[in-house]
Structure 1
């Protein structure tokens, strides 16, 4: 009898399917292995590049710094462009698309508002006009760099960084104007005063000018720089949109860092930098020491790429920005320099009155003027293109058509908001200035080259082998007179000439210092004032907490060495916390964990150490107290809390135990600041216990304060975000020298940090070959490379790598030849 059914039938059917699956898996495996083998994540050997002028030899030292040896400066910058492209191709592609407003071509509708705003500013258009005015020598060097970038991308062939495959894109053509445009984006990222002006305009709908100064106080003791009642001006003009309300224009799928300008906000509170120089009379060696740690968004890959350029008339080592053909921060064999942001007010908003009978005209000082208009088209992946008109006034581009918060704030049927910004000036030649800086033979020539820096304005602290230390504010800032007009603190009526800029501060009148008697120079975004000009460069300085702490540490001893510079850069005492400690410790919370929390916190001195439970308790308390005082501002608080940390306002208000801001308007009683503090303490303990358990002995600041280097744009995508992002527990807070700015309402974890020291460098003039550096990621932009994140553990622990022009050993060599 034959068996029922035939067992060989299913097997016969499955066998070819299994063979097909196995074949596909083998092909995928072969392609993956070939990709990993061929990917130029650690380039070495020889490459033939026809467009290269002469042969270039690149050796990589133990820290993976490339040492580019070339026979001409053009070839050196060609090689730098080549390395930027082969090591950081995806990063450069994103830089290019951000600056030209072309993200949506590969990322879709999520980024349309970003592209529209950047197109409205006209960043790429301004870059093209500025480049036309560049000296011929600078144009040639920029072209050589661009040729190197394009050659590097071509060399990659089909083996591109994985981000290209995930987005279905390829590297685009890099032009010299892309470098100029990226420099403009860096200037935007470091100058966000216009957003503070917009916030004061928004607050004027509900508060008096006096109350606005309480919420956004001047960061120095004394009267505000203007006495004008700007809130009344806006009320009288009826500029407000009567239907204003909360909006949610921020994508939850995009990273917050290095796309910070894409969030359309620059100049965040607590994002700045530190630098200081000590003369030989304060050092153990008798020679200067110079330290620098710029605070920028943490990104993966990092914003910086270290390199050494060696060619006739050029010998410079330090941090480069992929996209820009120069060492931005670094040293020669004779001098070194460092930057912090001066934070001048170089952006003003103007309220332009639209003619009711002809919306194509607006009110000028002497009558009606036509808007300048141009059409823009944004191609959008997966959607029809967007056509829109950009308008400009005599002050600059109209942003209220493209930025949701500006559009919400005003009655756009009657008014427009235009932006005046120095960086868009056709005279801006900042990249040419960087090229001259790199060629400077000595510190005097370096200072001369600083005259070409236009935007962003920087506090430049320098030192040289001859024992000199010096300071120079370098950049362009409008002339302003104290207590005259609005001083740039709030949007001005555009038809009144009194609010127009009246030229720029001459270079000779900018703050400067040479070999001061005290033997040291330090800057940390605090108020900078020139001895021969009493007018501050802005009304919106940062709190001086980091600067004050630097000064305290310098004065704490008579003799300093490189190890003490490391100690200073690692310091986590927050002078932005100490004014609040008395109220914090006098609180009487009723939470079940209150007694333990108070016992843990009784000796807390504001030191935000990574293993400190008291630091976690304090920061959660300060967060909740800030919300108690200022959340009555509704969406105007929630939308800004994170960009603005309100620490200056909080400190000012709790000095008065009965400040009306401490009262809870939702109750019939009138609460004091101590009662508000008690409530904040209870809320803080609720939050901490819910997140980190009910045993305060197991709490620590590092569990909450996580430094995250976000990848763009994959950081928010499940699984991929974990692969591409770099995370580590981190000490400090928004006001410590070792800064770790809190995200607050901008994140599910309010105490994580996305802005911290983007690099640390120490230059020791007893022997410049003993100089040191570190940053938070690695030299490679290829996620599968061990050099993608290898520096992160060192950075988190304040350890360093050597920054040498003549390293004793090298790991690999790459030769570029034209035949």
Structure 2
């Protein structure tokens, strides 16, 4: 339903904000003027290889781009949780997948005074779910490594007395780069930062008065409803004690060298029926409708246009009021000294547990009960701790009066970030840059001592085992590129984790496994718990059983790696790649980038994902800014500016991003960046 959602968005913007729509059309006109002057010889090389010409850009495409970004950043595990409920029962499900585990460090500081009376939510007296075990492929989910960090510190914690803001969105590492850095100057304002080709304005950046940045606010805003049709015509479906009429949307799918494919999609009051008899009819979840706030009219583009010209906290709040999806944690800092964080999106008003599993679309009680009032979205301004931060973790503590759920909250980057910000004072821009490039592996720091304790005599099984154990015991838990211990831990943990949940993994129905954080908690607090003996074998299995087996598998894996590759330093093992958007165009990619970090680390650089943009801004009398991204200002693989930032990015270096003054000539505007 992305195109449907974009059409709704276009209608909404035309009716409610014609000025924004005029800007979208003007943007498209500029793109098309360039396309029309392109001869075949000057087409980008990708179009030549694929034998295409770019078609004209439209306002609709800019809106669709932001809907696509939502789909890229938002997932749901309704299918997997429905299966887990059937396999484990609700008691074990809650034990292995607690919605609010011990030790959560939320985005909004604990103990925050919400200052509002919440809207009422009515929970049905009885709830029944479609209860068949679904043996099908999982639905597409956000790519591994998708996440982000952002934070702002107040002048009370900085050396200069000025607020400092930092942002690094974590996405797939691609060439040409996802972002394009730009300064936009008009007679009334200048703004600079990372732009998203196809969308208007600066997405993460700053102007003369404020700075802002975004991270993904993981929240469950997609739900699935089983549809019961009246007959094969699919013209009506059961809704309570009556039959509601469906509507049909015919979509054209262009196929190169073949006739256009016409796809008839059924729409219900919930939304589109995604899988049906004409699309993946072999799935067991055919005839489920998707309810998603993307299918309702909204104007996210206005948010960024307003942020680009904002001058203070009131302007920031006004800009965010237009924002629906994908939900984001918007960090803010201003020259006047304010710092703030707001978790912004259009969030369904749900009773506890609603939307966690597939629901029966014939039962009207399963409907969302509206939306959380926009003014009740969690936010904070100038908290007493002197900083705000987010890293895709739980949005709030348990005192927030609305039901909040997602299956993918982060548990390591956020705690490392908050720990460092709490203890730091006299902070400088260089300190914030170092924190963005921080390689401390908190997961390893919490899991490895436990694993070393549980491995027992297996640690002395041979000379290789002694060597590896020695490296691990000496490790300082920093995943720097030249370190070897991160590789050993990564492989040992992967095998141990696989052993712990091997019985669950053997289910033919798709499920999601308990996360790393919960697994370590169970290994530490209850190493002899029956959850470690799900197979029920004659020999009772414990956490130690799995750690020891994982160690044996690590030894075998390392024997193969050292024989074939030799060097098992961390950078050589994870082999970070910045890959061309067409994966087969390997010669246009940059492979084996020498850098540290990893998933779950503040420097979140894994094999294919990481900080797609790093920005640090100090809001003094003169705004000082620094930025970098893993690519370059050209999309042409033959240009020296195609990938010239990558080595600096990999080394944690930055470019000066200060605003250029109006008296500086246009010709030197990006001389600093390009050089």
The 5 Å alignment of 1:537-548 reads 537-540=404-407, 542-548=409-415
Q: In the TM superposition, what whole-angstrom CA distance separates every residue of 1:331-354 from its partner, at most 9, and x where no partner exists?
A: 111111111122222211122233
One of 561, 569, 585 as aligned partner of 2:452:
585
Which deviates more from structure 2 when the two are superposed, residues 657-666 or residues 698-707? 657-666
Who is 2:540 aligned against? 670
Q: In the TM superposition, what whole-angstrom CA distance separates every residue of 1:431-481 from its partner, at most 9, and x where no partner exists?
A: 122222223233322221211112122211111112121222222111234
Matched, 1:265 2:265: no
Cα separation, 1, equivalents of 2:62 and 2:208: 27
Q: In the TM superposition, what whole-angstrom CA distance separates every residue of 1:308-344 from its partner, at most 9, and x where no partner exists?
A: 1111334211111000011111111111111112222
Matched, 1:471 2:341: yes
Cα separation, 2, equivalents of 1:330 and 1:579: 35
Quote how far apart the aligned CAs of 1:769 are: 4.5
Cα separation, 2, equivalents of 1:287 and 1:669: 62
Who is 1:653 aligned against? 522
Q: In the TM superposition, what whole-angstrom CA distance separates every residue of 1:142-192 from its partner, at most 9, and x where no partner exists?
A: 111111111122233221111101111001110111111111111222221
Q: In the TM superposition, what whole-angstrom CA distance separates every residue of 1:619-656 from its partner, at most 9, and x where no partner exists?
A: 11111112112233346689778xx7831342243232
Who is 2:109 aligned against? none
Cα separation, 2, equivalents of 1:205 and 1:505: 30
Who is 2:481 aligned against? 610
Cα separation, 1, equivalents of 2:507 and 2:222: 21
Q: Secondary structure at the match of 1:445?
A: helix
1:600/1:400 Cα in 2 relative to 1: closer, same or farther (>3 Å)?
same
TM-score of the aligned structures, taking structure 1 as reference length: 0.73
Who is 2:220 aligned against? 345
Q: Secondary structure at the match of 1:163?
A: helix
Matched, 1:699 2:581: no
Cα separation, 1, equivalents of 2:495 and 2:344: 40
Who is 1:759 aligned against? 613
Who is 2:577 aligned against? 708
Matched, 1:179 2:62: yes
The 5 Å alignment of 1:178-327 reads 178-192=61-75, 194=76, 196-214=77-95, 216-218=97-99, 220-221=101-102, 233-234=128-129, 237-240=130-133, 244=135, 264-266=140-142, 271-327=146-202
1:424/1:312 Cα in 2 relative to 1: closer, same or farther (>3 Å)?
farther
Q: In the TM superposition, what whole-angstrom CA distance separates every residue of 1:372-424 from its partner, at most 9, and x where no partner exists?
A: 222223222244543332111111111233998996344x4xxx211111122
CA contact (8 A) 1:300 1:777 kept: yes
Quote how far apart the aligned CAs of 1:356 are: 5.6
The 5 Å alignment of 1:372-451 reads 372-401=247-276, 408-410=283-285, 412=286, 416-426=287-297, 428-451=298-321
1:315/1:688 Cα in 2 relative to 1: closer, same or farther (>3 Å)?
same
1:329/1:125 Cα in 2 relative to 1: closer, same or farther (>3 Å)?
same
Q: Secondary structure at the match of 2:166?
A: strand
Cα separation, 1, equivalents of 2:281 and 2:587: 35
Q: In the TM superposition, what whole-angstrom CA distance separates every residue of 1:1-42 from its partner, at most 9, and x where no partner exists?
A: xxxxxxxxxxxxxxxxxxxxxxxxxxxxxxxxxxxxxxxxxx
CA contact (8 A) 2:580 2:588 kept: no
Quote how far apart the aligned CAs of 1:708 are: 1.9
| Residues matched between the structures, number | 645
Who is 2:52 aligned against? 169
1:146/1:239 Cα in 2 relative to 1: closer, same or farther (>3 Å)?
same
Matched, 1:534 2:401: yes
One of 434, 440, 455 as aligned partner of 1:573:
440
Matched, 1:792 2:649: no
Matched, 1:595 2:466: yes
Q: Secondary structure at the match of 1:595?
A: helix
Who is 2:673 aligned against? none
RMSD between aligned residues: 3.2
Matched, 1:721 2:586: yes
1:633/1:811 Cα in 2 relative to 1: closer, same or farther (>3 Å)?
farther
1:386/1:188 Cα in 2 relative to 1: closer, same or farther (>3 Å)?
same
CA contact (8 A) 1:770 1:804 kept: yes
**5+ long unaligned stretches in structure 2:** 105-120, 671-675
Cα separation, 2, equivalents of 1:694 and 1:316: 51
CA contact (8 A) 2:575 2:591 kept: no
Matched, 1:735 2:610: no
CA contact (8 A) 2:575 2:593 kept: yes
Quote how far apart the aligned CAs of 1:594 are: 1.0
Cα separation, 1, equivalents of 2:13 and 2:385: 42
Q: Secondary structure at the match of 2:78?
A: helix
Matched, 1:144 2:9: no
1:134/1:546 Cα in 2 relative to 1: closer, same or farther (>3 Å)?
same
TM-score of the aligned structures, taking structure 2 as reference length: 0.88
Cα separation, 2, equivalents of 1:306 and 1:645: 39
Quote how far apart the aligned CAs of 1:661 are: 4.1
Cα separation, 1, equivalents of 2:171 and 2:189: 28
Cα separation, 1, equivalents of 2:147 and 2:558: 29
1:354/1:629 Cα in 2 relative to 1: closer, same or farther (>3 Å)?
farther
Which deviates more from structure 2 when the two are superposed, residues 288-297 or residues 495-504? 495-504
Who is 1:552 aligned against? 419
Cα separation, 1, equivalents of 2:290 and 2:551: 42
Who is 2:237 aligned against? 362
Structure of higher CA gyration radius: 1
One of 329, 345, 361 as aligned partner of 1:494:
361
Who is 1:508 aligned against? 375
Cα separation, 2, equivalents of 1:206 and 1:664: 12
Cα separation, 1, equivalents of 2:422 and 2:550: 36
Cα separation, 1, equivalents of 2:385 and 2:195: 32
1:370/1:695 Cα in 2 relative to 1: closer, same or farther (>3 Å)?
closer
CA contact (8 A) 1:509 1:532 kept: no
Quote how far apart the aligned CAs of 1:777 are: 1.0
Cα separation, 2, equivalents of 1:408 and 1:215: 28
